Amino acid sequence: MDSRPLILLRPVKDLTDHRGGLSVIEKAEALPFRVRRVYWIHGTKPDVARGFHAHHRLRQLCVCLAGSVRILMFDGQHADWVMLTPSSGALDVPPMIWHEMHEFSPDCILAVFADAEYDEADYIRDRDQFIRHVHSS
Using CB under 6 A, pick the residue from 79, 80, 118, 119 that binds ligand TYD: 118
**24-53 positions binding ligand TYD, by CB under 6 A:** 37, 39, 41, 50-51, 53
Give bridge partners of residue 63 from the DSSP assignment. 111
Active-site residue, 53 included: yes
The per-type count for the chain, helices as H runs and strands as E runs, is 2, 12
- Asked if residue 38 lies in contact with residue 114, where contact means CB atoms within 8 angstroms, the answer is yes
**Residue nearer to ligand TYD on the CB measure, 51 or 76:** 51
- Asked if residue 27 lies in contact with residue 73, where contact means CB atoms within 8 angstroms, the answer is no
Q: How many Å apart are CA 2 and CA 76, to the nearest integer?
A: 11
**Residue nearer to ligand TYD on the CB measure, 31 or 58:** 58
**Residue nearer to ligand TYD on the CB measure, 11 or 68:** 68
Q: Which residue out of 53, 55, 78, 133 is catalytically annotated?
A: 53
Q: How many Å apart are CA 79 and CA 102, to the nearest integer?
A: 14
Residues 76-115: x/- map of binding to ligand TYD (CB under 6 A)? ----------------------------------------
